[in-house]
Amino acid sequence: MSIAIVTGGASGIGRAIATSLVHRGDTVVVSDINAEGARKVADKLNTLGRGKASAAPLDVTDAAAVAELYQAVRDEHGHLDLVFNNAGISIGGLAEELTLDHWNRAIDINLKGVVHGVDAAYRIMLEQGSGHIVNTASLAGLVPMPIGIPYTATKHAVVGLSLGLRAEAAGRGVKVSVVCPSFVDTPLLTNVNPGLPETAMSGNATEDIKKAVPRLYTAEKLARDIIRGVDRNKALIVAPAHGRAAWRGVRLNPAAAVRVAQFAVDKVLSGKK
């Protein structure tokens, strides 16, 4: 039985990860800035009759709060085996539509939120000589994704952070993986630029995205991919298959990948005329 923390666990990918972990008998702390949502998820998971779940309110932009929660979980159970730094937000819009507020929010949550989780978890895991840190990035962290470059930039940073840390941690008993999913059917797509100035992509972007990817991957399928990848200690967990194909294409021909991405930009610009 593993002791796990999942940030952003009240919905979407985080909820699906927590569910998969409890299904296999793990003890999971479901954390989220949405405290009520986290509590409802934990309550439901405790009806499965396998693992256990509890809820914890957490703002990942608060480094002290993250460190306090991770240490408290370790102190309560004697060890901390799995940490899924998963919380994030969606930022969309053309570069000229974006403000520094968009950039700062993306950096604070999508990048610094992961940094806070990594810093807290890594210190604990180094001390105990074991553990696995799993950071949620995106396919946008591997390919040139336009119309939301603050999101893209932070996800590239999370990939770099994770792979660099993996190299440092490998000989010290700590494992590190990074998850890079393509578009997944989650609330992230229906709440682009939350609380931020509007752009052409603000609000519900699901229908726009479905024009490019008609069949969105489900969070439940992705969670199974993630758990399988963690069990195999994969460095990069890229899913689904079309995401892996896109990643392969970027590596083989970066210039062509940029030209493909430009088609999406042209579509948006033509729609604004």
DSSP line for 94-143: -TTT--HHHHHHHIIIIIHHHHHHHHHHHHHHHHHT-EEEEEE--GGGTS
Confidence of residue 174 (pLDDT cuts 50, 70, 90): very high
% of the chain exceeding 90 in pLDDT: 85
Confidence of residue 85 (pLDDT cuts 50, 70, 90): very high
For residue 9, what pLDDT is reported? Answer: 98
For residue 206, what pLDDT is reported? Answer: 73
Could you give the CA distance from residue 142 to residue 247 in angstroms, rounded to a whole number? Answer: 6
Helix H, strand E, coil C: the string for 251-271 is: HHCHHHHHHHHHHHHHHHHHH
* Torsion sign, CA atoms 116, 63, 107, 33: positive
* Torsion sign, CA atoms 77, 7, 57, 165: positive
The token pair at 34 is 């949405």
Could you give the CA distance from residue 125 to residue 212 in angstroms, rounded to a whole number? Answer: 41
Residue 271 clears pLDDT 80, i.e. is over it: no
Higher-confidence residue of 204 and 67: namely: 67
**pTM of the predicted structure, to 2 decimals:** 0.94
For residue 186, what pLDDT is reported? Answer: 86
The model's pLDDT over 226-262, given as tens digits with 9 standing for 90+, comes to: 999 999 999 999 999 999 999 999 999 999 999 989 9
Confidence of residue 210 (pLDDT cuts 50, 70, 90): low
Q: Which domains can be identified in the chain, with CATH numbers?
A: 3-272 (3.40.50.720)
The model's pLDDT over 105-130, given as tens digits with 9 standing for 90+, comes to: 999 999 999 999 999 999 999 999 99
The model's pLDDT over 2-41, given as tens digits with 9 standing for 90+, comes to: 999 999 999 999 999 999 999 999 999 999 999 999 999 9
Could you give the CA distance from residue 153 to residue 246 in angstroms, rounded to a whole number? Answer: 18
Taking residues 57-61, report their average pLDDT.
98
For residue 188, what pLDDT is reported? Answer: 82
**Closest C-alpha among 269, 66, 108 to residue 195:** 108
Which is catalytic among the residues 70, 122, 151, 217?
151
| Residue 239 dihedral angles phi and psi, to the nearest 5° | -155, 160
For residue 270, what pLDDT is reported? Answer: 74
Give yes or no for a contact between 5 and 32, defined as CB atoms under 8 angstroms apart. Answer: no
Q: Which amino acid is at 261?
A: A
Could you give the CA distance from residue 226 to residue 222 in angstroms, rounded to a whole number? Answer: 6
Residue 151: active-site member: yes
Residue 163 clears pLDDT 70, i.e. is over it: yes
140 backbone φψ class: left, alpha, beta (φ>0; ψ -120 to 50)? alpha
